[in-house]
A and B are shown apart, each in its own frame.
Chain A
Amino acid sequence: MLLFSRQGKLRLQKWYTATAERDKKKMVRELMQIVLARKPKMCSFLEWRDLKIVYKRYASLYFCCAIEEQDNELITLEVIHRFVELLDKYFGSVCELDIIFNFEKAYFILDEFLMGGEIQDTSKKSVLKAIEQADLLQEEDESPRSVLEEMGLA
């Protein structure tokens, strides 16, 4: 799964197969080139090497997934859409800047939604709830410290 802007800046990348760093960079460059060259009304599916590429543009960001030969392209579009919905719910009307400045949270959401390239839970609600809980846990963890720091005792 790749997220990149119209200017060719990578905003998020998640690899579900083991690939060497050099190959990753090369593939990202190639894919960005191919997808950015597509015109607006064109088909969302491409063939690239032996994979199928499914991409969709949301405002200024391209969401791009590479799937295998036997996978269903249309459902992949739905997966992408679901991810965008999750981001939207979480950040409240998400825009590219949100993802730039809070990239680690975008990753956390993605990791809660997909694992090994497959959907973990088909219910939006439960994914969001899980992320909320995890965030709370993180806050609990951090807040004692920051309180102490505020008081100048640490």
Chain B
Amino acid sequence: MSPSVPLQEMIRAIRSARTQCEERGVIQRECAAIRAQFRQADNGGRSHNLAKLLYVHMLGYPAHFGQMECVRMIASPRYSEKRVGYLGAMMLLDEKQDASLLITNSIKNDLSHSNQYVQSLALCTLACMGSAEMCRDLAPEIDRLLRASNSYIKKKAALCAVHIVRKVHELGELFAPAARTLLTEKNHGVLHGAVVLIIELCERNPETLERFRKTVPDLVQIMKGLVLSGYSPEHDVAGISDPFLQVRILRLLRILGHNNEGASDAMNDLLAQVATNTDSTKTVGNAVLYETVLTVLDIKSESGLRVLAVNILGRFLLNNDRNIRYIAMTSLQKIVGTDHNAVQRHRGTIVDCLKDQDASVKRRALELSLALVSATNVRSMMKELLIFLSSCPQELKSHAASGIFNAAERYAPSQRWHIDTILHVLTTAGGDVRDETVPNLIQLITNASELHCYTVHKLYRALLLDISTQSLVQVACWCIGEYGDLLLRGECQETEPVQVTEDDVLDALETVLQSHMSSPATRGFALTATMKLSTRITDNVDRIRSVVSIYGSCIDVELQQRAVEYNALFKKYDHMRAAVLERMPVIEKNSPGHTNGESMGEVKENQASKKPTEPKLLPQPANQVCDLLGLLGGSEETLQPSPSTALGLLTNTPSTAGGNLLDLLGDLEPEPLTPAPLVPVYDKDGVALTLSCEKQSDTAMTVTLIASNSTDSDISSFTLQAAVPKSVKLNMNAPSGDFLPARGAAKVTQMVVLNYQNKVNLKMKIRISYSSRGSTFQDTVQIDTFPGL
């Protein structure tokens, strides 16, 4: 075929442009010429011009002015113009353009054209960019073509039908009968198209699937013919007879045999035959084997066959070709849940693949290894995984770390091992672990009480080596703070004790405090740890005192707040210091995202609804701090609404003040905002009332009442009335509304200011009245204790 000279000249001109700017210039000139020629009525070079435009389009330049030209050319009687016109339609038009509708008629005409190549152009274009509209219009035509006598057209019509079914699912019904008859064809192209069509129909419609189950014997016959027949030069690829068709049929068999005993039985023999007879030296053979394995694993095959399939996968794993190993692991991943033991047999190879150079293979191996960890092999697997972690690519690190943590949690043979593993992970990949790791680890450590000495020694050593990994440093600081006395005692059963003086320990903590690598949260940990040591060491309390007072003027608000509080602890409340800084109790394991205390859950739910009142709540915990430490009185100016970590100081157990104090200095997690506790005080008939308090001063308190409605009907005229003992003065602010929509869509908030002299006597009676579903309700509730007071 003679090349298109004008096109080639243009391409040459564009390619010889040396700079982007030059190229743009050439293209603009060409585009202008093309546009001018499009406007001319009829000239011989129309197809060349459109081709030029398409080239320009491929380079990335705008070419939308060619759309109408495409439409015109498709309607032209000349084949060369049609060809380029259709190509242009496929490249420039898509279903979102309006112009695409204009070609529907042309396509319709061309579908009935006498020349099969014109028909094929139309079919191809429809299959490539046909919109749902076009598909609906032309579906009957396609169906007619499916029954035509020309196999060239039939195969194309089948694939076009596939596209139509993908676009408009309902039309599948239309093609089902024709598809059935196509299976009897001899022509491989038609067969292939028919199988693809049937796959598409069965995937979309379970009824069609049922109907096509009857074709299983026919399909098995066809496959047998392919596998056992002699050499057919036309369809042979490296010794396999028509692998493309084989793969397709296997896929269809898979769909038909899934969850169906009868169909699966019919295919068992065939699958076994294919699995054993197919030559696996070349990729083609492996492709067929792969499809066979997938089919075997997906249908209700007999166990012998399954074992055969897994063995094939095992063989794949040992193959030198990376691609084969990759897909073997992908397939094993699918069955590791069901055939766990079978996959375990190949654990060694899989673990070896962790060391492969290729990132895709590594990723697969990691997934599979994590799935294969079990109680029996956890120690050896973990060793391998930890080695992997130290050398794995960056994008896999956090996934690997969290996988290791999960596995360690489920199968840890001993606590010491568990702690060791986590420490190892933190030292190698500490930067990539999730935030919950720190509190989880701390909780684990407190639980392993015999290992406190061991743990603190290990962490101390780790801290000395490297203070850049924030999570590790945080845990280390916490432990040193808690168990520093064990460190200083200088004896340890589990590991080599380290001979340190108090100064050394304090040096280490100060380094963390002062290092620019430490994040604010880490420094918070370090400061608190230093403070805790004040009760655990004997000589250097003054040093601690000075450190704490230095940070009293730190720029970081969080540190400043803590330092000031600790300072106060030294000065005014020295008698309480020992009690406050006592050893932490064993923390209970909670679901992630919660700290101790049941009220947390409620707090979190109400958080969303309390957005407008949030700023108000922020000062409260700070005030609660001063409250708990027994009225720090004057130094309030530093107790500003500080960021999250301030509130992390508190947990919200409505427990005794003593418990709260310990948790205050526990620094469990630098956690997201935890507003003041909301206590439910009333809950009846779907109406719930919660209460939260905020101390404004020694004698004043603001109580916030929030009402919600979880019934299915709206509540109106909702009012609250409050009464207090004589010694207390009450001021009710206006409520936010008196209408409570159904199902908690909105809440009503009301604030009450109480002034009192003696908080012992503080009680409040609240009367609730509202109307719901046409009747009025009234109820009273007495509040004797106020949270946080």
- Mutual binders A and B: yes
- Chain B positions 47-83 with a Cβ under 8 Å from a chain A Cβ: 51, 54-55, 58-60, 78-80, 83
A59 at the B interface (CB under 8 A) = no
Indicate which residue in A44, A133, A140 contacts B323 across the interface (CB closer than 8 Å).
A44
- Report Cα–Cα, A120/B2, bound state, in Å: 26
Chain B hits for A46, CB < 8 A: 360
The reply on A122 being an interface residue by CB < 8 A is yes
Interface string of B507-551 (1 = CB under 8 A from A): 000000000000000000000000000000000000000000000
Q: Roughly how many angstroms separate A50 CA and B546 CA in the complex, as a whole number?
A: 58
Query: Contact at B359–A75, with CB atoms within 8 Å?
Result: no
B285 CB → nearest A CB, Å: 9
Specify the chain B residue showing the minimal Cβ separation from A114: B159
Partner of A121, one of B12, B129, B188: B188
Whether the pair A45, B54 counts as a contact (CB closer than 8 A) is: no
Chain A residues lying within 8 Å of B358, measured Cβ to Cβ, are 41-43
Q: For the complex, would chain B's binding face be called helix, strand, loop or mixed by DSSP majority? A: helix
**Cβ < 8 Å to B, chain A residues 1-37:** 10-14, 16, 18-21, 25
Q: Chain A: which residue is nearest B359 at the CB level?
A: A42
**Minimum distance in angstroms from A101 CB to a CB of chain B:** 5
Given contacts A78-B284, A116-B160, contact A73 B327 (CB under 8 A): yes
Instruction: Please determine whether B152 and A130 come into contact, CB atoms closer than 8 angstroms.
Output: yes
Contact residues of A between 90 and 116, Cβ < 8 Å to B: 100-105, 107-108, 111-112, 115-116
Cα A41 to Cα B15 in complex, Å, equals: 31
Given A102-B3, A118-B196, A123-B189: A75 and B287 interface contact (C-beta under 8 Å)? yes
Q: From known contacts A42-B358, A123-B188, infer whether A115 and B244 are also in contact, taking CB-CB under 8 Å.
A: no
**Given known contacts A101-B8, A115-B123, A20 and B244 CB-to-CB distance under 8 angstroms:** no
Nearest residue in B to A73 (C-beta to C-beta)?
A: B327
| Inter-subunit contact A18/B79 (CB<8 Å) | no
When the two chains form their complex, are residues A116 and B155 in contact, meaning their CB atoms are under 8 A apart? Answer: no
| Interface segment, one of B235-243, B657-665, B724-732 | B235-243
A123-142 interface bits toward B, Cβ cutoff 8 Å, 1 = contact, 0 = none: 11110001001110111111
Interface residues of B in 256-289 (CB under 8 A from A): 283-284, 286-287
> How many angstroms between the C-alpha atoms of A33 and B94 in the bound complex?
26
**Is A153 in the interface zone, CB < 8 Å from B?**
no
User: Given A108-B87, A119-B192, A123-B189, are A142 and B128 neighbors across the interface (CB < 8 Å)?
Assistant: no
A79 close to B (CB within 8 Å)? yes
Q: What are 11 residue pairs bridging A and B, where the CB atoms are less than 8 Å apart in the complex?
A: A43-B322, A43-B360, A44-B322, A45-B323, A101-B3, A101-B8, A102-B3, A104-B4, A115-B123, A116-B127, A121-B189
The 10 closest A-B pairs by CB, nearest first: A74-B287, A121-B189, A135-B1, A116-B127, A116-B163, A115-B159, A43-B360, A75-B287, A43-B322, A138-B80
- Give B contacts to A, CB under 8 Å: 1-4, 7-8, 11-12, 15, 44, 51, 54-55, 58-60, 78-80, 83-84, 87, 90, 94-96, 115, 117, 120, 123-124, 127-129, 131, 152, 155-156, 159-160, 162-163, 166, 188-189, 192-193, 196, 234-235, 237, 242-245, 247, 251, 283-284, 286-287, 290-291, 294, 322-324, 326-327, 357-361, 363
